[in-house]
Chain A
């Protein structure tokens, strides 16, 4: 292994050598498994690799170094809010008093965690302007399902069972329509106006006694605040439907706009976006759902309650029959939620307002830099919120270079690419979200890189088309991967050792 250069690794199975490793747990008595009937036992050990500690560590250290990450550099992935992940939060989550706590332990033994979760709920209520919150959902999409199931329960409780449609703007995340389907409802897609907002006339035509809900991401995935939101929500409620806010973009509005005050009935919060809990290479997240008084009776069970004597407890099974039920086992992703709590305590009310101010400032600055350069199309002019759309549409017409190529070339500059080809409504889209934790020097360097690539597209397009050149691997054959899926390694047959006894 060289000290520099790509660190591509064999699979962990190929590193294995029969007879290697061991010594981590005491050896059990030889009759320990005698009571297990033979027909219930596996015939030979699972084909797991056999490795010593150094082999395991080097494998995972080398693999880790193939990743881009926030700890490595700028990660302007639009709609994902790749902000700094504070280190003290990792320390906190590992405190034995938190980490070793069993989820079914009696309430008298879990008062510290219950207090933390209860306080977290109070903070989220103040941030959202809502009435009650559940911390149970494991991710944003899981929160969406929770919210839409509560909306269904609300209509059902009123005997209003004809409401089978959910209105979803065409710029929404794919999770919104997929959620509606999981909840047994149909999606009606809403077109947008030239300014990026929901097309009001089409919206009014789609709205009716069959409408269960509208799901709106605000600010939208175009990075634009839905300025007609008051009018839209009024019409939704007049029609007897409810309004769901996808909180993916909450980072843009802390202390500036409270969805509950504006009339939204329910929203989810992505703690891994707005409140800095680490994205973990794709998860875990957490998706608390906040509701107003209309939906409070339907919250998943168990809720966290504070008794008059100040003691905290979990709701007992069956205590609130109106609940939609459980959305997952146990209380929630407490380890994620406590990191969010630490983040919220660190910032306090004034700090959260600064988070939003700086996130919006950074996005507008970067947007201004790109607009000023003239190198990219900026489909939506004017002020943006925490993210904005740039497009390579003109570059493509002129040079054939696509957004995908530009994304790959950015990797050579040491930056992660923005979100590309999303939203689906914009040609050759790049959704750029710098977040509040990146310095102006980084923003400038990123703008300079994009402008340089745009110039390179005219001068030397092949170098972009064949990018990346400095990543551990070059572009991948995704078609072959889908045509002949290889989804698992097959350890060589017979390559195993019997157990010592």
Chain B
């Protein structure tokens, strides 16, 4: 058996010590009628053959296109040191720090992750990690219900469609109402969350809302009126939840600064490879006042018997292994290694490197906007954005397909990704980051010019 240490003599020695003739005797407790026959699977594959097989499968993917696809998963530059640190077996082959005396490395790294994220988010309590941005968002919404003892949550339609779906899945189980806040239809704020509609949804005294969820930047890349939304939520006795993209927080105001009680988000952008969907890093943070409501692990600083600084998992009375059916969540295994990856990436870049990443992405995005506008695909919304925006393209699915044939991954076809949002039916969602090259942008614009030819829509900002 691959990776197994036992020689036939070892096995014989163990069987003899136990006092059985064959290993089959150790399975005599399985009722005969329920015993399985041999597994009908391929024979074992030596590492050399496996390497060939996996190399072949990887080669069937096209992961090196000129890509403008973001929509919740972003490419960023990761310095070489990050992965070299992650490949240390002391990190990735350890488990949950149940014995803190021999897990101080993991524990301190989680404490530092909590601290780094607290700096970015402007919130004091950061959970050790959740599965991804979508599940962290669902947990944030559940937190608002526990904290307010209300059972109705308002969620902006400018939040990632997958996140909204996950919230619906989770809430169906919990029996909580989830209602969507529509988008502003036109004008300077087109595409952002409609605050007047939010105010109306909050003004239902019979059905008080527990929480109000908005994303910053929104799924459409736009900057949202976060401070206003938080003020409206608080005036109605609800909690304010900000769904954030953490890299942007090098530049954008942190949730704590605009009154958010809880922040949730996807940490993949913190230097973690896209990997076709995961493993990613669910960020969940809150104010001190909500610390007993936050699900998942927390690590705190303490001392050992000799008074030395040390770290330990704490406030575990919230968790499933203590509270069982009364726990804040069922989460157990989380994403510690991804929190470590994010921490190392942040430590390597530092505050100025991170700010440069964001500023360079914004500069590239502005170049992209100019090039696409010239090629006949103007922006769909007029408001400010950081590095992602929607453009108007007639027959977007076909254009997207034909661009792909020319080696350009032209972002996301919004009509397919959000079929229930007619205002973006003719939209492509595109993004640029610091790794987007001028050559990629030129290739996109040139190919787009070829594909849409003379059928470009009139370049009017804001009409939706």
Contact = CB atoms under 8 A, between A and B. Distances in A.
Contacts of A94: 83
A90 B412 CA distance: 30
Contact of A328 (B166, B330, B412): B166
Interface stretch (B126-134, B200-208, B233-241, B446-454): B126-134
Interface in B90-104: 90-104
Contact of A22 (B93, B115, B134, B350): B350
Contacts of A169: none
A272 B332 CA distance: 13
Interface stretch (B179-187, B335-343, B370-378, B456-464): B335-343
Nearest to B137: A329
B327 A36 contact: no
A254 interface: yes
A contact residues, range: 35 or more
A488 B118 contact: yes
A365 B18 contact: yes
A37 interface: yes
A350 B85 CA distance: 36
Contacts of B439: none
Nearest to B165: A326
Contact of B351 (A50, A338, A478): A50
A324 to B, nearest CB: 6
A480 B97 contact: no
A408 interface: yes
Contacts of A296: none
B173 to A, nearest CB: 4
B324 A97 contact: no
A437 B3 contact: yes
B441 interface: no
A40 B58 contact: no
A24 B77 CA distance: 9
Contacts of B298: 485, 487
Q: Give the interface centre of A42, A177, A227, A437 by most chain B CB atoms within 10 Å.
A: A42
**What does DSSP make chain A's interface, helix, strand, loop or mixed?**
loop
A253 B173 CA distance: 31
B112 interface: yes
Interface residues of B, number: 204
Interface string B286-309: 000001000001111111111011
Given A329-B266, A329-B277, A473-B308, A281 B384 contact: no
B39 A482 contact: no
A182 B275 contact: no
Contacts of A332: 277-278
Interface stretch (A203-211, A395-403, A450-458, A493-501): A493-501
A214 B135 CA distance: 25
Contact of B302 (A26, A148, A173, A486): A486
Interface in A255-311: 255-258, 261-262, 270, 272, 276, 278-286, 300
A181 B40 CA distance: 38
Contacts of A82: 95
Nearest to A172: B324
B312 A476 contact: yes
B108 A9 contact: yes
B69 A69 contact: no
B305 A278 contact: no
Given A349-B39, A360-B26, A66 B103 contact: yes
Given A141-B320, A358-B6, A352 B39 contact: yes
B119 interface: yes
A99 B353 contact: no
5 nearest CB pairs, A to B:
A71-B89, A112-B60, A97-B58, A280-B337, A330-B277
13 contacts: A24-B353, A53-B81, A69-B89, A71-B90, A187-B325, A254-B39, A270-B333, A281-B109, A283-B279, A326-B134, A349-B41, A472-B101, A474-B308
